[in-house]
Amino acid sequence: MVLEITQYGNPVLRKKCSKIAEVDEPVRKLAEDMIETMIDAHGVGLAAPQIGKDIRMAVVDVSHDPECISFLKVNGADAKMEDVMPLVFINPELELDGPRETDTEGCLSIHDIQAKVRRPSIVKATLPQLDGSVIELESDGLLARALQHEVDHLNGILFVDRISPASKLSVKRKLKRLG
C-alpha cells in the first residue's frame, strides 16, 4: 500500500527515532509499504519518519542505475547490486570514510528543493535485517550517499541541515513556505 509521505515542518522529521526491539508482522508490512511508497514516489530511499513513524527503519534502492557505484561488498565479498536491492534495514550503524564529495540531493519530504551536500564518499554500514541477520555493506557513490541521507532521517537530520551557509540562504524562503 502506498503511504502518505510526511512533509517538511512535521515534527516527526526532527525526532531521533527509537530502536526496533522486535520485528513483528506490522514491521514487515510497514517495510513492504515503504518500498512500494518509495517506488511510487520515484525515490531512491525512504526512512520511517518520512511516513510518520519514529522508528529506526529505512529502505534504499539505487538499482535503477548500476553505474552509480564503483564497488559493493557485502560481508566482505564482492556483490552485485541486484543481490541486495531493495535494501531494508533497521537500527543501522554507519562508519564514514574516504574524501568528502559534493553532489546534489533532494528529499521526498521536501518538495522542489535540491542543493549540493558534501558527504564522505565511502560508507561501511552494519545493517540488521528483518529476518534477524546482519549484513556488513561497504560501497560508494549514490548508495553511500543514500544510506547517509536515510540514516540522517533516523537521527532527525535533514539534508538542508548539511548544506553550505550560502545555499541555506538561497533556500530559506522556500523552506519557510513549506514549514
DSSP 105: E
pTM, to two decimals = 0.97
**ω into residue 86 within 30 of 0, thus cis?**
yes
**ω into residue 165 within 30 of 0, thus cis?**
no
CATH of the domain at 109: 3.90.45.10
Task: For the chain, count helices (H), then strands (E).
Answer: 3, 8
Domain count along the chain = 1
Digit-coded pLDDT (tens) for 33-48: 999 999 999 999 999 9
What is d(CA 127, CA 88) in angstroms, rounded to the nearest whole number? Answer: 8
How wide is the angle at C-alpha 39 spanned by C-alphas 33 and 41, nearest 5°? 100
Q: Is residue 155 in a domain?
A: yes
Torsion on CA atoms 64, 159, 78, 66, rounded to nearest 10? 20
Amino acid residing at 84: V
Q: Is residue 136 in a domain?
A: yes
pLDDT at 174: 87
Q: Is residue 167 in a domain?
A: yes
Compute the residue count for the chain: 179
pLDDT at 96: 97
pLDDT at 77: 98
* pLDDT by position in tens, the chain (length 179): 999 999 999 999 999 999 999 999 999 999 999 999 999 999 999 999 999 999 999 999 999 998 999 999 999 999 999 999 999 999 999 999 999 999 999 999 998 899 999 999 999 999 999 999 999 999 999 999 999 999 999 999 999 999 999 899 988 888 888 87
Whole domain around residue 134: which residue ranges? Answer: 11-178
Digit-coded pLDDT (tens) for 90-100: 999 999 999 99
Q: Is residue 102 in a domain?
A: yes
Q: Is residue 40 in a domain?
A: yes
Q: Is residue 2 in a domain?
A: no
Sheet order of strands, 134-139 included: 77-78, 72-74, 134-139, 110-128, 93-107
Q: Is residue 1 in a domain?
A: no
DSSP 108: T
> Among this protein's residues, is 32 annotated catalytic?
no
What is d(CA 143, CA 125) in angstroms, rounded to the nearest whole number? Answer: 11
Q: Is residue 20 in a domain?
A: yes
